[in-house]
Amino acid sequence: MTVRILAALVVMLLANLSVHAQQPVPSRLDEIIKRGTLRVGMTGDYKPFTYLEKATQQFSGFDVDMAEALGKALGVKVEFVPTAWPKLMKDFEADGVSVTLDRQKKGFFSIPIMREGKTPIARCADVGKYQSIADIDKKGTRVIVNPGGTNERFARANVRDADITVFPDNTAIFDEIAKGNADLMMTDASETRYQQKQHSGVLCAVHPDKPFDFSEKAYWLQRDLALKAFVDQWLHISMEDGSYKKIYAAWFD
């Protein structure tokens, strides 16, 4: 009798496990649609991708427009969540960032939206002085970086003799170069092109078509296959139907 009871209990346990195993686990995509809100992390200090206007507390930029387009595709409102580069690992949602293996451990990346690489930006008169890492990594050269991101990581990995200064305000960091308080910054080629336009005749991008390394920009997502599949498909369609090019042209062309 005892054996039969134990056998029955085992059957009931296996049946319960089977039922639970068959119940679908809600995806992050389902949660977003049910909630009616897509929460997007924004640093607000990385023109032309994301910028927070302090007077109005409104975000603008390429990533902001892309996030709004994604929200429209999902049929939900977009809520921008302020964050900072050193905190991205802790509280990211879906900001556009450079693809790294450390970030890949924490979440999924969408398909790439942009090919990138680190390259210098300096005062136009000094462009010839900073063509290579060896040219830059000399005593007396003043390299400026923003804290916590791939720019600082790249500088510390490649610069030994030059001085590195961490400047906390990424929105004003290029003005430091223009004013002569720093000699150069190594950042993404797309940003050097944009800042060259903003400081026409003063700051110049150094060989942005031939950066020092290779990287890609993508959207960093919570680890949810359904969400990634949707975002990837949305990006694919956007790149084919011209909507991505329209947003890109508004900020980079």
DSSP 3-state of 7: helix
Percentage of the chain modeled with pLDDT above 90: 69
pLDDT beyond 80 at 111: yes
Q: Which CATH number fits domain 118-205: 1.25.40.10, 3.40.190.10, 3.90.1150.10, 3.30.1330.60?
A: 3.40.190.10
pLDDT beyond 60 at 5: no
Banded model confidence at residue 87, pLDDT cuts 50, 70, 90:
low
pLDDT digits (tens, 9 = 90+) for 120-134: 999 999 999 999 999
User: On the CB side of 81, how many CA atoms lie within 13 Å of its CA?
Assistant: 16
DSSP 3-state of 123: strand
Give me the residue spans of the domains in the chain: 28-114+215-252, 118-205
Helix (H) or strand (E) holding 46: strand 45-46
28-114+215-252 folds as: D-Maltodextrin-Binding Protein; domain 2 (3.40.190)
The residues, ordered by sequence, that sit 6+ positions from 180 with a Cβ below 8 Å of its Cβ are 123
pLDDT beyond 50 at 93: no
Supply angle C-alpha 207, 122, 151, rounded to 5.
80
- The rounded Cα 190 to chain-centroid distance in angstroms is 13
